[in-house]
Structure 1
Amino acid sequence: MNTHRKDLYPDVAASGGLVSAMKEAATLRAGEIWPAPSNTDAIIVETSRGLVSVDPATEERLFRVRVLVPGFTWEVPGFSWEIGSTGDLGLLVEAVVAWREGVPLDELAARFEFLELDEFARALERGEPTSSQWADLLSSEYHQRQRGLLRRLHADEVLRHMFPVISHGAVRLRVDLFDGASRQVLVHELDGERCEVRVGVPEADWVEVPTGDLTAHLRAVLNKQ
């Protein structure tokens, strides 16, 4: 930790790093956290409501808290959204412990005023993140160009249960939102009559499929995996 960051986070530096500092703070509050391996400076904690990351700011003393969806394979890393920030390490750890223990969001919001729990966080709590994501994408003006494709995929009783993401203009579907290695497909609409489809791994070939056969093709391929 450089001198500037030590000045901002003397308690973290004294503990030997953020992982140690958070574990010590959690123990003092009769809680536990289990940081997961990370390739970034952020500390990541696994929970049943997604991965929670804690990232210390460099310009001021501030611990930024985000919820992460694990990275999709291929070229897309996944996504995250911030749910709050605080300069109080003890308060931060209490909130992370409570999130990990499954404390209801209304109670979390009442106990920790720095948390900003949006509709997607509440969809996670309800166990409905996939339906919430579909609703957001289908109503999004930003993704209006993909709306016809989204509607076609959503109309299928199997595909609508896969988690959708728009990536480089294509629709990506994954069976399990929280499993980065879960079965997934990528669909790129070429025109009103043809789509390109890639299933499973980055090395897989793109396959051109008539738009009218798209959902049947996807279901057949997924059933083989």
Structure 2
Amino acid sequence: MLDDLRGPALEAIDQAEPAELLSYPTSGTLLQHLLTRLFVIAYPGPARSSTSTSRTSTYPSCGRLALVRTTPDPAVLYPDVAARGSLAAALQALGAEQGLTLAVTATESDPLRHALVPSATPGREELVVGAWHFERRWSITGAGTGNGSGRSKLLIQGDTQDLGAVARAAQAWRDGVPLPEIDRMVSFVELTGRYEVPDDSPAHLVASEWGYMLKDAQDADWPEYLALIKAAHAEPDLRQLYPYTSHWSLRFSAPARPAFADPVCLEASRGGAYTVRAYWMGPVLAKVATAAEAVSIAVRHLRTAPGPAVPGPSEHQNG
């Protein structure tokens, strides 16, 4: 009887729209089939089950479903890069076509998909260029310290299908073009909100990290979290502390005043609730409806106003 029901059910799953699949009631074999169907929608291409090379056939009635997606040959996905021998060579060639003089290093482990562009600018690390595995697209990441001596931080990132644009971004990064100018010159580049600090001044380091926190919150598609970050930044007693997050909880560090290391923790919940804790995973001080209330309670919890902050320990810094 169960086998008689499975056939139509499996066919219904195959024909369902993606949105319908998210609430489809299944168990056992049907659940395995549903998971594979969702996998194929999210990641088009061949997938294997634990008992078959077909996408959706011959599933066991129990046990785990093992899905394996084979990575395409980079020479097939990037034939133009393969023709040059490496991503580094392809970048150099496209740069030369635009009048650029790029020095690019190929990585030995994956020369068709990875390359490094050394920086000629102090305080900037080499720009990392990587090709996507399942789609013809390239990503860049650029980190640095500016004129400070602290831990290197991510400053720019982005992805594009235009390798020529990657070459232009790499040249600008190498030559020390200011970050806002790179953002204007190359449309796919995204700034992280941090800036290249002029020195090791705690005020600059803290302000740069707040810039990152605000930009990250704006990109998070989480209105309550954005409201919390904005409210905390607007409060002078918190704005002078070094901010960082752990599991989306807003925390602070001021090692110059050990008593204020992780002095308070703020959490936002989807739907509008905010939690104030005495410290990370510490006792709950209050649960309130608005970010402004949460920040006000946090400030009151700081029994004495903390002095100027300095960067927290490296493990407490946002990546």
**TM-score normalized by the length of structure 2:** 0.40
- The alpha-carbon deviation at position 106 of structure 1 amounts to 2.9
Structure 1 runs not aligned, ≥5 long:
71-76, 172-225
Structure 2 equivalent of residue 186 of structure 1: none
Asked if 1:127 is matched to 2:201, the reply is no
**Deviation of the 1:166 alpha carbon:** 2.6
Equivalent-residue separation in structure 1 for 2:144 and 2:312 (angstroms): 12
Residue in 2 that maps onto 1:33: 102
Give, in angstroms, the shift of residue 82 of structure 1. 5.5
Map 1:78-157 to 2 at 5 A: 80=154, 83-120=157-194, 123-124=195-196, 127=198, 131=202, 132-135=204-207, 136=209, 138-140=242-244, 142=246, 147-149=253-255, 151-152=257-258
User: How far is 1:86 from its partner?
Assistant: 0.7
Q: Indicate the RMSD between aligned Cα atoms, in angstroms.
A: 3.9
Q: Secondary structure at the match of 1:139?
A: strand
**1:45 corresponds to:** 117
Please state whether the residue corresponding to 1:84 is helix, strand or coil: strand
> What's the CA shift for 1:102?
2.2
Pair 1:35–1:4, CA change in 2 (3 A) = same
Q: Does 1:10 align with 2:85?
A: no
For residues 109 and 199 of structure 2, the distance between their equivalents in structure 1, rounded to whole angstroms, comes to 29
Instruction: Check 1:22–1:129 CA distance in 2 against 1; reply closer, same or farther (3 A cut).
Output: farther
| Whole-angstrom distance in 1 between the partners of 2:200 and 2:81 | 34
Higher relative contact order (CA 8 A, sep 6+): 1
How far apart in 2 are the matches of 1:9 and 1:37? 15
User: Per the alignment, in what secondary structure is the counterpart of residue 23 of structure 1?
Assistant: helix
- The Cα shift of 1:129 comes to 7.7
Asked whether the 8 Å contact 1:133–1:164 carries over to 2, the reply is no
| Higher strand proportion | 1
Residues 150-189 of structure 1 mapped to structure 2, 5 A cutoff: 151-152=257-258, 165-167=313-315
Matches of 2:257 and 2:138 in 1, distance apart?
40
Runs of 5+ unmatched residues, structure 2: 1-70, 146-150, 210-240, 262-305
Deviates more, 1:45-54 or 1:138-147: 138-147
**8 Å CA contact 2:95, 2:101 repeated in 1:** yes
Q: In percent, how many aligned pairs have the same letter?
A: 24
Letter in 2 for 1:118: T
How far the C-alpha of 1:3 sits from its partner, in A, is 5.7
Query: CA distance change for structure 1 residues 165 and 148 in 2, over 3 Å: closer, same or farther?
Result: closer
2:198 alignment partner AA: G
Change (3 A) 1:149 1:165: closer
Higher Cα radius of gyration: 2
Q: Amino acid of the residue matched to residue 111 of structure 1?
A: M
Residue type of the alignment partner of 1:9: Y
Equivalent residue in structure 2 for 1:55, among 130, 133, 138: 130
Q: CA deviation at 1:45?
A: 1.5
Letter in 2 for 1:83: Q
Q: Secondary structure of 1:83's partner?
A: strand
Return the alpha-carbon distance in structure 1 between the equivalents of residues 130 and 76 of structure 2: 16
Q: In structure 2, do the counterparts of structure 1 residues 95 and 129 end up closer, same or farther at CA, with 3 Å as the change threshold?
A: farther
Quote how far apart the aligned CAs of 1:46 are.
1.9
- Work out the CA distance in 1 between the residues paired with 2:86 and 2:201: 36
SS at match of 2:314: strand
| Shift in Å, 1:40 | 5.9
Deviations 1:117-159 (A, max 9, x none): 1222xx22x53587454453723354877725354599999x9
SS of residue paired to 1:119: coil
